[in-house]
Structure 1
Amino acid sequence: MNMQQGNYMNFQDMTPEEMAFLQQATANLNESQTNYFYMVYSSKRKSAQEIMLFTLLGFVGFAGIHRFVLGQIGMGFVYFFTGGFCAIGTIVDLVNNKSLVLKYNKEMAYDSHRMALMTP
């Protein structure tokens, strides 16, 4: 098992899509850049279970927290002040939880990749 495979195993709820994306992102990095990439990415990455719990809080009066955590501040305020679009938006986000998290994690992987390229 090489070092890159060991880094992938540190993420408990990684989907096959995310793993393929990370393999592609780290393909042209050397070992020190790859290690730096995973250090940065692991600090920014969100898990689907964590976001699902924040989404469920929308049903008890705290709608939109999951949008704030995912960096979507504007939508977070909209959800908060409209009660998660009268709970319909919260239900939709609960169903689309994994795609929201995958989109966020891909953005964080792009950021981490750019940072890793700047290291020697």
Structure 2
Amino acid sequence: MTDFSFAMLPGVDQEEILWLQELTRNYSEDNKRQFMALYQGRRKDPQTVLICCLIGLVCVAGIHRFVLNQVGMGILYVFTGGLCFIGTIVDAVNHRKLAWEFNKAAAMEAASLLKQY
């Protein structure tokens, strides 16, 4: 498995590719395959986060927070209308940052799972 495999992820940017390459630098080919399988299952595409934000402007606010496993913020957004739509608009602008923070935590979780076995 080459490092090019990370570039095949949907919505991936250069910063994420470099970070993943550094994280898996000392992994064997088998461990890289296992990591990639775990990470792909947990990773959120930034476009999905953006679409959920935009749905929140029209329907129920906070869907994107539930997608990112931020249940508390999701409930807050539902009951306050996305903090009067301002929070939802800010999240729509910062959708890549929200997805990157979630994906970074997901990569660390996948890496720690591989070290356990």
Answer yes or no: same fold by TM over 0.5.
yes
Shift in Å, 1:60 = 1.3
Amino acid at match of 2:72: G
Shift in Å, 1:88 = 0.3
Moved more, 110-119 or 37-46: 110-119
Shift in Å, 1:108 = 0.2
- Aligned runs of 1:1-120 on 2, under 5 Å? 3-119=1-117
Contact 2:49 / 2:64 at 8 angstroms: preserved in 1?
A: yes
Q: Which runs of 5+ in 2 are unaligned?
A: none
In 1, the alpha carbon distance for the partners of 2:7 and 2:18 equals 13
Shift in Å, 1:13 = 1.5
In 2, the alpha carbon distance for the partners of 1:12 and 1:59 equals 24
**CA deviation profile, 1:57-80 (whole Å, cap 9, x unmatched):** 111121000000001000000000
Contact 2:3 / 2:21 at 8 angstroms: preserved in 1?
A: no
- Greater than 4 Å deviation, 4+ residue runs: none
What TM-score, normalized to structure 1? 0.93
Contact 1:48 / 1:97 at 8 angstroms: preserved in 2?
A: yes
In 1, the alpha carbon distance for the partners of 2:93 and 2:63 equals 16
Number of matched pairs:
117
Using CA pairs under 8 Å that are at least 6 residues apart, name the structure with larger relative contact order, 1 or 2. Answer: 1
Shift in Å, 1:28 = 1.6
Q: How many percent identity over aligned positions?
A: 39
Contact 1:64 / 1:84 at 8 angstroms: preserved in 2?
A: yes
Determine helix, strand or coil for the equivalent of 1:81.
helix
Amino acid at match of 2:71: I
In 1, the alpha carbon distance for the partners of 2:16 and 2:114 equals 18
Moved more, 89-98 or 5-14: 5-14
Amino acid at match of 1:24: E
In 1, the alpha carbon distance for the partners of 2:20 and 2:4 equals 13
Amino acid at match of 1:62: V
